[in-house]
Structure 1
Amino acid sequence: MPNLKFLHAKDVDFDGYLEGSLAELRWLKWEKCCDSFEAIDFHLEKLVVLDLSCKYNSGNHISENWRGWSSIKMERLKVLNLSRCLGLKSTPNLSMFKNLEMLILKNCACLEEIDPSIGDVKRLVFLNLSRCKGLKKLPEQLGELENLEELVVDETQIKEIPPCIGSLKKLKTLSAKHCLQPIEVPSSIVEYCKLQPIPSSIGKLRELVELDLSYTGIKELPESIEEFNKLKILRICGSGMERLPSSIGRLQSLQEINADGCFDLEGQIHFDKGGLSSLKTLRLAFAKISGLPENLDQLHSLEHLDLLCLESLSHSRNLLLTYHPRSSPVRAMSCHRSLT
């Protein structure tokens, strides 16, 4: 079959000398292949897609030690689909797949480890690890995947996205839905990058304690931020933020708002009665905030107030002169001439 381009095999094995037999094959879908491998000279040098996935009611039991990984020559491979390969405890050595762009490991229930050789797959664009329920950790070598655009770890046991992910300059999508453990996301993912508008669905992250969007291109926060009942720290310094949602004034656990260097941040800050009752730090240096709330003196926990160079601030002279906190003194660091 020298001209065959696509082959779908199921419940079969390849055996004997196969040199040149499938020389033009581009796509091989191989269901339920055996973990043993007896073929010799099985060269698939033009193969682009290797699909070893199986349907829901079955599984492929090849392991990371399958002889096929080293015996089949697949230098041009771009797509490797290992979905529901139930014998995999680790990914195979991937260093021979230099041109791989898509690696799919969905529903590999026994997968516990991503082999460090994944760092050699420099052209990888898409990595899907969803429903790998035995996976608890991602390797630091992921940070070497300079072309990675999408990483999916839905329904895994991963507890932490490693800081190395912050070096992935082309990453567009990081999906970690329905993870089996609380997951920690490093600040390096959101710092110094251009992000799309934050969706209102972010309000569903009700266990969130810290949100750091510093030095991003994000321009606004959704009103659903009021659902962050446990949020303690909000940092947006140096970002492209243009306004703060009015609902931010209802957050009773919030202790810090840092908006230093938000040169486009305009409007006024409002808070409801009883809102921002835990706020200790309010930093607005170099922003364009035009007004502070008249009931600022009700922020009994406020300790640090930075109003450095608020050129747009008005109607606040009397407010600052008469503000006397009931607990600890506030350090008002404003250099705005209209307040002197």
Structure 2
Amino acid sequence: MGKDICREKSSKVPGKHSRLWFYKDIVKVLEDNQGTSAIEIIHLEFPLFRKEGGEDPSKKEKNDDVEVKWDGTAFKEMKNLKTLIIKNGRFSRGPKYLPNSLRVLEWRRYPSRYFPSNFNPEKLSILKLPDYLYMLPKLDSLSKMLISLKVLNFDYSNSLKEIPDVSNLETLEEFSFEGCSNLVSVHSSVGFLPKLKILNAENCPQLRSFPPVINLPSLKTLGLSGCSSLEKFPEIQEEMKNLEELDLFGTGIKDLPCSFCNLSGLWLLYLEENEMYRIPSVIGMMPSLFICKIELGGNKGRVSGEQEEGFHGILTHSLPSSHMQSLFLTNCNLSDDFFPLAVAWFPNVISLVLGGNNFTILPECIQQFRFLVVLNVDDCEHLREIRGIPPCLTDFSAVNCKSLSPRSTSVLLNQQVHEGRSTHFVMPGGRIPRWFEWRSRGASISFWFRGTIFPYKSLCVAILLKHDILSPPLQVKPTVTINGNQVQFGRYGLMGQLFIFNLKRDDYYYEAPHFKRGWNHVKLSYEAYYKGFEGKVPSESIGKEIGMHVWKEESSSIMEDIRFTDPYKMTQLIIMMIMLSIAFPNHKNHPLLLQTCIGYWTLLFLTMYDLDNDSELGSEGSNISDGSMASTELAGAELGCAQM
């Protein structure tokens, strides 16, 4: 609407508009030198054009190929131009004039090596020249005039090989040269800009020379990920409180200096896909570090002695109380000696991800992780034994742990480990534990509940897959269907052979309307995908068994409101038996009739289980009479028949 209002004021003379957005108007003004002092904003972005003439109309011309043919003088009369943004297109030559009134200058592929000699950028606050086509000129003389500059951007300028001296840019708050594939060096002055908040050098693979020392008290964001040739992280001269997140993914950095702990506000650190050969010991001295992800790309195939020396080194100092709560140490060649050290180093850790390491035992000492909730040991192919389980553990994953013994797996399947917790356990396993009272062959299980509230807090589910479907890894997503209507999905999770989880973990996804006043039918199943592949895997082809357990401590009357047999069929059978009793009052004198009734009732009772998935009531060693209302009714019906 604002654009239309501006155009209506002088629709036939675009040079008199205060703001120019429409590309045809802008091209006309530039090529015909129609600029006036009325113009304050120009925003040029060419759309994709179809080629004209007899060529295929489906072929589109790139907006970067559109050329503005001008003599470079169009800005001379635009004495009040404050914002000039050119997103794409080509220009036949560079500008001969730029207004001194400019506050914002953003020009992709700026078509000249220099700014016009008569340009005085004292008012310029934002200067963005992405995809700059030339070597960056020395900014010494120009930077003296950039007294108001806050944003400087040379992203994706492949001709840029060095960042020159910018010590005069004392007002600079954001400096970005991301994706400059040929950038080799950054001048040391970049490390001493007092107001700099954002420094972005990500994805500069040739960058080798970075300021060796930095003192950036205002810095909030430092981007160095993807700088694969950068081997040293700068020394931190003084305390920097404002930098909270640091991503060093894919760098060539081999270690972190001791002064790194001067990043006192840092709470998130990524050290993945790098050239480090051991875990930097300085991370244990970071006062605010909350989440740390480490993967030792330079340590593949080595023993872990050197890195463990790093652990010992930090423990020899007066170690402050670690605030680390989420620690990811994947593919770090950790051995069995890691755990005693980690218990002392990270006593408050809540989430510990140790995938792809070489330890063989989860020792008893891990029970000293008093707050540990999440433990992931996926792809630890040498892991054989589990001797301890942290007291608060609710999430455990041991996908592709091929050496884990059945005895250790049984420790994870103990009912006491899961009782009273909302557990999600993924592991190798040959069978569903015996304490799951109800089981169903295949990939789904049905049950009924009574009332308007779904009893998710009371239900624990076990999914068992066949042995021959674990490569490549599977991801499964539980689904719930109530009275024929599918409720929301659960969360995807990487699947081992056995998956035990509580429905109470996903409270939100069972808020389904249309519950009946009586009994509601529920079918629980799952979708499956091979990780990294598109398309579903038929769950019937991979599912071996599903089990379900009801936590009775959630409600003393819960078993009165959940049944694993069709309550409507049960009611019909009872009515039938009553009618037979009325129709044949002298049944005691007819033993053949009595036997026929009992046999017929038993046959119908057994067929109740073939509802959706050939559900089986009971399990090895389970107490069915304690866990099934259907069993109680069966006993009562048999007693009634006997009395007939």
Is 1:209 equivalent to 2:209 in the alignment? no
Instruction: For 1:204 and 1:256, locate their aligned partners in 2 and report how far apart those are by CA, in whole Å.
Output: 26
Query: Paired residue for 1:29?
Result: 106
Instruction: For 1:105 and 1:172, locate their aligned partners in 2 and report how far apart those are by CA, in whole Å.
Output: 21
The one-character-per-residue Cα deviations of 1:99-158 (angstroms, maximum 9, x if unpaired) are 1111110111111111122244211111111111110232124x2222112111111111
Instruction: For 1:243 and 1:148, locate their aligned partners in 2 and report how far apart those are by CA, in whole Å.
Output: 24
Which of these residues, 150, 167, 172, is aligned with residue 100 of structure 1?
Answer: 172
Query: Per-residue deviation at 1:168?
Result: 2.9
Distance 1:6 1:194, change over 3 A: closer
- 1:176-215 maps to which residues of 2 (within 5 A)? 176-179=248-251, 181=252, 183-190=254-261, 193-196=264-267, 208-215=278-285
Query: Paired residue for 1:64?
Result: 136
Which of these residues, 102, 112, 119, is aligned with residue 42 of structure 1?
Answer: 119
Instruction: For 2:267 and 2:103, locate their aligned partners in 1 and report how far apart those are by CA, in whole Å.
Output: 37
Query: Paired residue for 1:238?
Result: 320
Is 1:138 equivalent to 2:220 in the alignment? no
Contact 1:37 1:68 survives alignment (8 Å): no
Is 1:75 equivalent to 2:150 in the alignment? no
Distance 1:188 1:258, change over 3 A: farther
Q: Which has the larger radius of gyration?
A: 2
Unmatched runs of 5 consecutive residues or more in structure 2: 1-77, 350-358, 371-644
Query: Per-residue deviation at 1:171?
Result: 1.9
Secondary structure at 2:341 match in 1: strand
Query: Paired residue for 1:314?
Result: none
Instruction: For 2:210 and 2:187, locate their aligned partners in 1 and report how far apart those are by CA, in whole Å.
Output: 9
Is 1:252 equivalent to 2:336 in the alignment? yes
Distance 1:224 1:94, change over 3 A: closer
- 1:159-170 maps to which residues of 2 (within 5 A)? 159-164=231-236, 167-170=239-242
Query: Paired residue for 1:338?
Result: none
Instruction: For 1:133 and 1:255, locate their aligned partners in 2 and report how far apart those are by CA, in whole Å.
Output: 36
Secondary structure at 2:236 match in 1: helix
Query: Paired residue for 1:116?
Result: 188
Instruction: For 2:119 and 2:291, locate their aligned partners in 1 and report how far apart those are by CA, in whole Å.
Output: 56
Looking at secondary structure, tell me which structure has more helix per residue: 2
Contact 2:152 2:174 survives alignment (8 Å): yes
The one-character-per-residue Cα deviations of 1:266-290 (angstroms, maximum 9, x if unpaired) are 9xxxxxx96499xxxx9xxxxx999
Which amino acid in structure 2 is aligned with residue 239 of structure 1? S
Instruction: For 2:134 and 2:293, locate their aligned partners in 1 and report how far apart those are by CA, in whole Å.
Output: 49
Contact 1:253 1:276 survives alignment (8 Å): no
Query: Paired residue for 1:152?
Result: 223
The one-character-per-residue Cα deviations of 1:175-234 (angstroms, maximum 9, x if unpaired) are 11122x353222432368244377xx8798895434434444458789999xx9844133
Instruction: For 1:260 and 1:191, locate their aligned partners in 2 and report how far apart those are by CA, in whole Å.
Output: 23
Instruction: For 2:360 and 2:280, locate their aligned partners in 1 and report how far apart those are by CA, in whole Å.
Output: 21
Query: Per-residue deviation at 1:39?
Result: 1.9
Which of these residues, 243, 264, 279, is aligned with residue 171 of structure 1?
Answer: 243
The one-character-per-residue Cα deviations of 1:47-69 (angstroms, maximum 9, x if unpaired) are 11111003xxxxx2222325796
Instruction: For 1:71 and 1:203, locate their aligned partners in 2 and report how far apart those are by CA, in whole Å.
Output: 37
Instruction: For 1:224 and 1:38, locate their aligned partners in 2 and report how far apart those are by CA, in whole Å.
Output: 45
Instruction: For 2:285 and 2:240, locate their aligned partners in 1 and report how far apart those are by CA, in whole Å.
Output: 16
Query: Paired residue for 2:201?
Result: 129
The one-character-per-residue Cα deviations of 1:15-74 (angstroms, maximum 9, x if unpaired) are 2xx5xx6233211112222453362220122111111003xxxxx222232579628932
Instruction: For 1:239 and 1:221, locate their aligned partners in 2 and report how far apart those are by CA, in whole Å.
Output: 15
Which amino acid in structure 1 is aligned with residue 226 of structure 2? E
Aligned alpha-carbon RMSD (Å): 4.5
Secondary structure at 1:40 match in 2: coil
Is 1:53 equivalent to 2:130 in the alignment? yes
Which of these residues, 61, 76, 79, is aligned with residue 2 of structure 1?
Answer: 79
Secondary structure at 2:162 match in 1: coil
Contact 2:212 2:233 survives alignment (8 Å): no
Unmatched runs of 5 consecutive residues or more in structure 1: 55-59, 267-272, 283-287, 291-340
The count of corresponding residues between Structure 1 and Structure 2 is 259
Instruction: For 2:289 and 2:143, locate their aligned partners in 1 and report how far apart those are by CA, in whole Å.
Output: 53
Contact 1:8 1:28 survives alignment (8 Å): yes
Query: Per-residue deviation at 1:254?
Result: 3.4
Distance 1:252 1:87, change over 3 A: same
Distance 1:257 1:203, change over 3 A: farther
Contact 2:103 2:124 survives alignment (8 Å): yes
Q: TM-score, normalised on structure 1?
A: 0.60
Instruction: For 1:172 and 1:243, locate their aligned partners in 2 and report how far apart those are by CA, in whole Å.
Output: 15
Contact 1:98 1:121 survives alignment (8 Å): yes
Distance 1:165 1:276, change over 3 A: farther
Distance 1:36 1:148, change over 3 A: same
Instruction: For 1:84 and 1:130, locate their aligned partners in 2 and report how far apart those are by CA, in whole Å.
Output: 10
Contact 1:131 1:155 survives alignment (8 Å): yes
Which amino acid in structure 1 is aligned with residue 177 of structure 2? L
Which amino acid in structure 1 is aligned with residue 243 of structure 2? L
Query: Paired residue for 1:14?
Result: 95
Query: Paired residue for 1:90?
Result: 162
